[in-house]
Amino acid sequence: MVKKNNSYEKLIQADNLPCHIAIIMDGNGRWAHKRLLPRTMGHRAGMNTLKEIVRACSDLGIKILTVYAFSTENWKRPWEEVDYLMKLLVEFLRKEINELNQNQVRIKVLGNYNSLPLVCQAEIEDAINTTNNNSGLLFNIALNYGSRQEILGAVKNLAQQIASGEINPDMISEESISRQLYTKDIPDPDLLIRTAGEMRISNFLLWQIAYTELWITECLWPEFTKDDLLHAIWDYQQRDRRFGGLNSERQDEINA
């Protein structure tokens, strides 16, 4: 668990940035409840935070940002809230696409967005096509996304390839499974940030975060700032990522 501190901008090592940051944006409803506002106003405040964090990642030189915008489980929410979220998505893409494009941000959607309302699908397609050739930050928006469903789809695709004789079971590897996921050709996240203090993954990138560093903050998403992002990056830079192995000092002790 981490708490806010003073500015971390001067502490960040520019040559040791995480390549890929993923964020579970949690706490919009609680933010609104604290202010006696409807949940929809929390989502709108969260959208404003997202704008700032995308801009900050782009300015910092982060290569990939993936945000959990709408899960397959979110359909269980009241219809009015789901409808508002869909309209907010359209508004975000329409208002921000020019700035994103000017800043060379490339938009990709993870998930089955063909199940979203037609107006959402049209805006998504336009945003993807408009930014497709950009060379800056890759901005992945997870929409109608569920990691178990993603993995299930990968298994079914491989099973079909076996049934058709394209491959045999011995040819299946971690790499072949990864190539069937929405994130194919994208490096796994280095850092996963979750706001609002919840200690769970919520069906997000389960395959991809096997060795991702986790950073949890009590800060509600609408209150999350660039300095919170920098704090998370600074904390990431203090960690020793061993990927199941030993650090050099410990290895030297064993070999001595």
Q: What are phi and psi of 66, to 5 degrees?
A: -120, 125
Q: What is the pLDDT of residue 242?
A: 79
Q: Which residue, chain included where needed, has tokens 């933010």?
A: 31
Q: How far apart are alpha carbons 224 and 83 in whole angstroms?
A: 25
Tokens linked to 224: 């999350």
Buried b (16+ CB within 10 A) or exposed e, 207-218: bbbeebbebbbe
Q: Which helix (H) or strand (E) holds 22?
A: strand 20-24
Tokens linked to 205: 């990138």
Q: What is the pLDDT of residue 241?
A: 82
Contacts of residue 221, defined as CB under 8 A and 6 or more positions apart, other chains included, come to 25, 26, 27, 28, 31, 46, 49, 195, 196
Residues of the chain with pLDDT below 50 are 1-4
pLDDT digits (tens, 9 = 90+) for 18-57: 999 999 999 999 999 999 999 999 999 999 999 999 999 9
Superfamily of the domain at 24-239: Decaprenyl diphosphate synthase-like (3.40.1180.10)
Q: Which helix (H) or strand (E) holds 141?
A: strand 138-145
Q: What is the pLDDT of residue 244?
A: 74
Q: What is the pLDDT of residue 2?
A: 44
Q: Domain map of the chain by residue range?
A: 24-239
Task: Just list the catalytic residues.
Answer: 26, 74
**Residue 179, exposed/middle/buried by CB under 10 A (0-12, 13-18, 19+)?**
middle
pLDDT digits (tens, 9 = 90+) for 112-137: 999 999 999 999 999 999 999 999 99
Q: What is the pLDDT of residue 204?
A: 98
Q: What is the pLDDT of residue 248?
A: 57
